[in-house]
Amino acid sequence: MTELKKDLFKRLEPKEYVTQELISNEDPKFFRDAYRRFKKNKGAHIALFMIIGILSLAAFGPLIGGHVYNEVTTQHINLPPRVPFIENLGILNGMRDNVNIYLQKGFNDVYYWFGADGLGRDLWVRVWMGTRISFLVAFVAVLIDVIIGISYGLVSGYFGGKVDMIMQRFVEIISGIPNLVVVILLVLILKPGLQSIIFALMITGWISMSRVVRSQVLKLKELEFVLAARTLGATSFVIILKEILPNIVGQIIVMTMFSIPSAIFYESFLAFVGLGLQPPLASLGVLISTGYQSLLIYPHMVIFPVTVLSLLMLSFNLVADGLRDAFDPKMKGF
């Protein structure tokens, strides 16, 4: 039997010790797998292209079409949609009740692709400017509640005990109040406008994210690799950031995608009940709520914004569904 001499053992420098234990915290296979599963989902794939299409139209649409945002032309009030070339196919040809309004009024060279509204403003430009607002509201609101939701869930789940108890009672009370009530009251106090809508969505949106993150953290923190990290002397901050967060990236992405359509919906809903952006600014919701008052006579004022809004919501939901199935086939109920 060989003697175990002291010089067989050597003390590691702290730096060496970290490199030995370093585990790549993102398994590249995980994302490749998820992407492969996502690719199989045809609906989600089409929806992704739809979102890209709507996004580019929102970006470049207002530049084409030959009209300027908020330009009022009194003679052109309520003109129906008319698009060059397509008009020859029998649709979008400026007809209303079998009369070509454009020719009747003598506007032979005037084209309003989506028609004009009650003040003679071009709806094509207004719809895409409105879509920009929807995207803006969605991304800012989502960005902020992702940050709040993730940190709240991480802290509450990781520290557990009393901290968790107090934080969860708080969530319980907040989630006991219907979002609708909170959003309406906040927008009323802060005066309707873009900032107050975003602020209201931010206050209500983080709850579900924090719940998902918390439940994942509760599961993960009991696992061996977290225990190992703790034994090696990693601080709570490092464990949360390096060990736990990378493991819940999938769920976070899925939850984020689900909260985008919800933010878009709330913005258009607020506009519909009169708490949206104030004129002359237009969002899709504002266009729908002003257009619906003359729905029976001028349906074109509602059809285009409603179609864009519905396609946008549908696409985001489809992509979110696809991502959920790709990242975590077992996750459900959201």
Q: DSSP letters of 81-121?
A: PB-TTGGGGTSSBSEETTEEHHHHHT-TT---TT-B-TTS-
- Contact between 265 and other proteins per CB under 8 A: yes
Report, in Å, the least distance between residue 283 CB and other proteins: 13
Quick check: 185 binds other proteins (CB under 8 A)?
yes
Interface with other proteins, residue 136, by CB under 8 A: no
Binding flag, residue 31, other proteins (CB under 8 A): no
Smallest gap from residue 156 Cβ to other proteins (A): 17
The residue count for binding other proteins (CB under 8 A) is 39
Q: Is 294 one of the binding residues for other proteins (CB under 8 A)?
A: no
Distance between CA atoms of residues 292 and 151, nearest Å: 41
Burial (0-12, 13-18, 19+ Cβ within 10 Å), 246: middle
Should residue 162 be labelled a site residue for other proteins when binding is judged by CB under 8 A?
no
Count Cβ atoms below 10 Å from residue 202 Cβ, excluding itself.
Answer: 19
User: 45 by DSSP, 3-state: which?
Assistant: helix
Closest distance between other proteins and the C-beta of residue 19, in Å? 43
Q: Does 184 participate in binding other proteins (rule CB under 8 A)? A: yes
Q: Is 193 in the site for other proteins (CB under 8 A)?
A: no
Span near other proteins by CB under 8 A; candidates 108-116, 214-222, 228-236, 293-301: 293-301
| CA distance linking residue 206 with residue 81, whole number of Å | 41
* 53 interacts with other proteins by CB under 8 A: no
Overall residue count recorded for the chain in this entry: 334
Q: Is the Cβ of residue 42 or residue 105 nearer to other proteins in the bound state?
A: 42
Q: Which residues pair with 82 in a beta bridge?
A: 93
Least distance to other proteins from the beta carbon of 72, Å? Answer: 24
* Of the residues 277, 317, 326, 327, which one makes contact with other proteins according to CB under 8 A: 317
Q: How far apart are CA 307 and CA 245, in angstroms?
A: 38
Measure the CA–CA gap between 170 and 173, rounded to whole angstroms.
Answer: 5
Which residues sit opposite 99 in a β-bridge? 96
For 219-223, which contacts have Cβ atoms below 8 Å and span 24 or more sequence positions?
220/244, 220/247, 220/248, 221/157, 221/158, 221/160
Q: Does 269 bind other proteins (CB under 8 A)?
A: yes
Of 123, 318, 323, 326, the one binding other proteins by CB under 8 A = 318
Cα distances (Å, whole numbers) of residue 324 to 27, 50, 331: 18, 19, 7
Does 275 bind other proteins (CB under 8 A)? Our answer is yes
- Indicate whether 222 belongs to the interface with other proteins (CB under 8 A): no
Q: What is the DSSP string of 308-329?
A: HHHHHHHHHHHHHHHHHHHH-T
Asked whether position 55 contacts other proteins by CB under 8 A, the answer is no
By CB under 8 A, is residue 333 in contact with other proteins?
yes
Residues that bind other proteins (CB under 8 A): 43, 169, 172-173, 176-181, 184-185, 188-189, 261, 265, 268-269, 272-275, 288, 292, 295-296, 299, 302, 306, 309-310, 313-314, 316-318, 321, 332-333
